[in-house]
Chains A and B, each alone.
Chain A
Amino acid sequence: MTTSTGHPILDIIVVALALTGAFFMIVASVGVLRLPDLLLRMHAATKAGALGTGLVLVAVAVYFGEVGMTTRALAGVAFLILTAPVAAHVIGRASYASGVKLWKETRRDELAEYYSTHSPTLVPGSEVRQDPS
């Protein structure tokens, strides 16, 4: 393989971006492997994973440096930034509704007062705080 943009500084930028992205990918998967409960794992997977892949895509955008490829890579970044939080939200919501066990050292479960413990079905809008009056 011949990885070169033809410009030494651009080459260094590309490799630095790709290496940083790979580092954050490792952080994400180690987090998914080692963190104690589902919501913490989701927190590692979505944020670090999206950052790692986003940096790699920016490296691709810099490397090609032409309109078509750069637009595609940056569109990929934008799509990733838009979808990662949504995916994390729906997985977290479904898992919480199915009564997933939280870590034993969890201090606060702010959703607990809005859902019944024994029948944790999510009713749309039930998470909105009701006015007591």
Chain B
Amino acid sequence: MIGEINSNLDIAMLVVFALVSLAILTALYRVFKGPTLGDRVVAVDLLGVLAVGFMALYSLVTGESVYLDAAIALALIAFLGTVAFARYYEIDNRRRKARNPGPGASP
């Protein structure tokens, strides 16, 4: 299992895991930094995609098929979350504009 290194390929897979972890941390930094809500959602969407890749890699090194199923389910959930957020953002924005239209708003 994970923890003991048996071949050069194991070292290569560890490098791959390090790279993916670095990518996830970088995306996480953008989630915290913002500056707008849309930036955070883009970063969370990327986090979801990267997590799918991470789980697929984990199923590769352990040989368990369960993690791949979980990865596909996570891809579905992340996509639905992104679409749901975008709808909410658009409707909320439309309501806010309707409440206090800016100068020169179209009639």
Interface residues of B in 61-101 (CB under 8 A from A): 61-62, 65, 68-69, 71-72, 75-76, 79, 82-83, 85-87, 89-90, 93-94, 97-98, 101
Expressed in whole angstroms, the Cα–Cα distance for A57 and B41 within the complex equals 24
Expressed in whole angstroms, the Cα–Cα distance for A84 and B29 within the complex equals 21
Q: Check A45 against B19 for contact (C-beta < 8 Å).
A: no
Q: Check B46 against A49 for contact (C-beta < 8 Å).
A: yes
Expressed in whole angstroms, the Cα–Cα distance for A121 and B105 within the complex equals 10
Q: Check A25 against B23 for contact (C-beta < 8 Å).
A: yes
Classify the secondary structure of A's interface with B: helix
Interface residues of B in 1-49 (CB under 8 A from A): 1-7, 9-10, 12-13, 15-16, 19-20, 22-24, 26-27, 29-30, 36, 38-39, 41-43, 45-46, 49
Expressed in whole angstroms, the Cα–Cα distance for A23 and B50 within the complex equals 12
Chain A residue contacts of B5, Cβ below 8 A: 1
Q: Check B16 against A100 for contact (C-beta < 8 Å).
A: no
- B27 is contacted by which of A15, A19, A32 (Cβ under 8 Å)? A32
Tell me, rounded to whole Å, the shortest Cβ–Cβ distance linking A65 to chain B: 12
Given A38-B38, A41-B39, verify A15-B12 contact (CB < 8 Å). Answer: yes
Partner-A contacts on B (CB < 8 A): 1-7, 9-10, 12-13, 15-16, 19-20, 22-24, 26-27, 29-30, 36, 38-39, 41-43, 45-46, 49-50, 52-53, 56-57, 59-62, 65, 68-69, 71-72, 75-76, 79, 82-83, 85-87, 89-90, 93-94, 97-98, 101-106
A-B contact pairs, 5 of them (CB 8 A): A2-B7, A18-B12, A45-B49, A50-B49, A86-B79
